[in-house]
Structure 1
Amino acid sequence: MLQVFGKASSINVRKVLWTCAELQIAIEREDWGSGFRDTHTPEFIALNPNAMVPVINDQGFVLWESNTIIRYLANRDNALHLYPSAPRHRARIDQWIDWQATDLNKSWGYVFMSLVRKSAAHQDADALQQGFHQWVAHMTILEQQLQKTGAYVSGDEFSLADIPIGLSVNRWFETPLAHPDLPAVSAYYDRLNSRPGFRLYGRNGTP
């Protein structure tokens, strides 16, 4: 049984949970993080010195960093349908996984903290507007890619890249703002709904 440490509402924990659903991996999850058990305790720091979720324990093999975890699980289970071994195909998938973790995630940080978390430190109108424009710019990059593929982020077939990207698209639609028309992104979001793992973990961690 794979142990997963982290609350189900965390976007990074949900990457792992959705991947496990795609691979039909049985899990045992413990709630850690804000609102639950404190990740700054010695017990958790022994698992991840960064005091962040998710963490997995695979029969004594402890691993942190969500994108590393989902790659590990795909490799462990030889899930070539999600993470093919051909170097160029895999590199294209890795490119979008890494883009989500760096460029895309950074673009929505201020807006999400302001409009969803209601953070008092994120209520500057100019910074909010700037953050909105940055987020739109990155979602437009995704729109162009999806127009090109006509299906999923790295090509015709669902891949490991669609898990982190799909969760970020969920965050886009669930944040209360004036969304510009991005038809390929909307069609992609609807397409993801056909997957049981997305229905379980893609919409803010609730079915």
Structure 2
Amino acid sequence: MLQILGKASSINVRKVLWACAELGLPFEREDWGSGFKATDVPEFVALNPNAMVPVIRDGEFVLWESNSIIRYLAGRYAGEFLYPGDPCERARCDQWIDWQASELNRAWSYAFLALVRRSPAHQDRQQIELSCANWERHIAILDRQLETTGAFIAGASFSLADIPIALSINRWLETPLQHAAFPALTAYMERLATRPGYVAYCRNGTP
């Protein structure tokens, strides 16, 4: 059975858990990460030299990096309905997955560490305001894309790209800052609320 190493509260672990839910894929999960088993021990570093969650074991195959993992699972377990085989459709999906990992993640970093993690090293008010503004600018990009598709982030159908994007939107909504109104984004999250994987892993059991 597929093994997932990482605590369920981690946004990156939740990507993998949600993908498993969409694929109907059974798994076993072990708690690793802050507050649980330390990831800097030799046992874990042998699996991921970055000492970060998640890591999966699928038989003898070991993989780290959450976006790589969800792509692998969709490719390995008949997930073409999530991750299309057509090169153009797949590239459009990949575009948003990669953008989430690079541009969007970078935008929220300082604000999230300051306002949620309460990091003493991230309490510069000017930097917090700058990060919040940059975060909102990226959320506006998502809102415009959702206005264009009228449905999901990469097009008319739910895809693998919606998993990291929706988790990122949820992080923005749950962070204590001023939230501008984005109607297309709100409607999108309401559409996703019908999916069991969203309820279980994006909203942590909250409809």
* Residues 1:135 and 2:153 are matched in the alignment: no
Range that drifts further, 185-194 or 163-172: 185-194
TM-score if structure 1 supplies the norm length?
0.98
**Aligned equivalents of 2:156 and 2:31: distance in 1?**
36
Return the alpha-carbon distance in structure 1 between the equivalents of residues 80 and 42 of structure 2.
38
Structure 2 counterpart of 1:64, which letter?
W
1:148-173, CA deviations, whole angstroms, 9 ceiling, x for partnerless residues?
00010000100000000010011011
Aligned-residue offset at 1:206: 4.4
* Equivalent in the alignment of 1:12: 12
Secondary structure of residue in 2 paired with 1:4: strand
- Name 2:85's counterpart in structure 1: 85
State the shift of 1:191 in Å. Answer: 1.1
Which aligned pairs between 1:54-203 and structure 2 lie closer than 5 A? Answer: 54-203=54-203
The DSSP-based 3-state class of the residue aligned with 2:160 is: coil
- Tell me by how many angstroms 1:80 deviates: 1.2
Opposite residue 60 of structure 2, the aligned amino acid is G
Structure 1 moving runs of 4+ over 6 Å: none
What letter matches 2:80 in structure 1?
L
Q: Which runs of 5+ in 1 are unaligned?
A: none
How many residues get paired? 206
Letter in 1 for 2:153: V
RMSD: 0.8
Residue 78 of structure 1 deviates from its aligned partner by: 2.1
Greater Cα shift, 88-97 or 76-85:
76-85
CA distance in 2, matches of 1:105, 1:184: 21
